[in-house]
Amino acid sequence: DHGAGMFRRVVVKLSGEALTGGDTHGLNAGTVQRIAADLVAASDSGTEIAVVVGGGNFFRGIQGATKGIERARADSIGMLATVMNALAIEAAIEAEGYPARALSAVPMPSVCQPYSRQAALHHLGKGRICVLAGGTGNPFFTTDTGAVLRAAELSCDAVMKATQVDGVYSADPKRDPSATRFAQLTHDEAITKNLAVMDTAAFALARENRIPIIVFSIAVEGAIRAALEGSGTFTLVT
């Protein structure tokens, strides 16, 4: 139990990688549908859900920059990648018979509603799952930082950070078998130990605004709801 009980409103951060379902890139339809069902189950339990989605399954600005595209423009490509993911998740949630709204920090009104705090709060209040695209809307940031930013401005109780492993480890558990999982950490420790689960800007913003981060594995079905309820394994960063 993370002691917080059931949360009133949270941001769920999904990386692009979570949507590949083991494929090398892109969207795996079955995986996207399974995650959508998870989100619906979590929302059904009474917690308002804003999903912040990454784009690394299509494009990362830093990688584009190494191939000669200037960083700011490469990051624009990355932000557009997150919009593709958001539309796919929005569609999958609706396919579950549940209301969802994609909102993009990079305005493209013919595709989805532009993000505004007021619009997001309106939809959340009506029980719709908001799928937030475009990260912060600025280059040189990540969607992890976008997730913490949205959690702060939407008065969320926590950021639920979905990863490929069930928490924060002392080293990469896929490479180092002696790596151990932290049950709990402070934001300070996450920054000073240089734990790679989120970037420093994201942790610093969470520390500044006292936003707990729950790091859990998205690999198991029902993982989002379980993490909300404090069951299963996770790392709590406070």
Which residues are near ligand UDP by CB under 6 A? 15-17, 54-56, 60-61, 75, 78-79, 81-82, 135-136, 138-139, 141-144, 146
Nearer to ligand UDP, 7 or 59 (CB): 59
- Distance from chain centroid for Cα 175: 24
* Beta-strand relationship, 235-237 and 213-217: antiparallel
**Token reading at 157:** 């109780």
Q: Look up tokens 């709590």; give the residue.
A: 236
Measure Cα distances from 235 to 7, 95, 127, 177, 197 in Å: 16, 32, 28, 18, 11
Q: Cα–Cα distance between 90 and 100 in angstroms, integer?
A: 6
Q: Cα–Cα distance between 164 and 153 in angstroms, integer?
A: 27
Nearer to ligand UDP, 59 or 98 (CB): 59
| Minimum separation from the CB atom of position 6 to ligand UDP (A) | 26
Nearer to ligand UDP, 48 or 75 (CB): 75
| Minimum separation from the CB atom of position 216 to ligand UDP (A) | 15
| Minimum separation from the CB atom of position 127 to ligand UDP (A) | 26
| Minimum separation from the CB atom of position 137 to ligand UDP (A) | 6
Nearer to ligand UDP, 56 or 167 (CB): 56
* Beta-strand relationship, 158-163 and 213-217: parallel
| Minimum separation from the CB atom of position 136 to ligand UDP (A) | 3
Nearer to ligand UDP, 139 or 222 (CB): 139
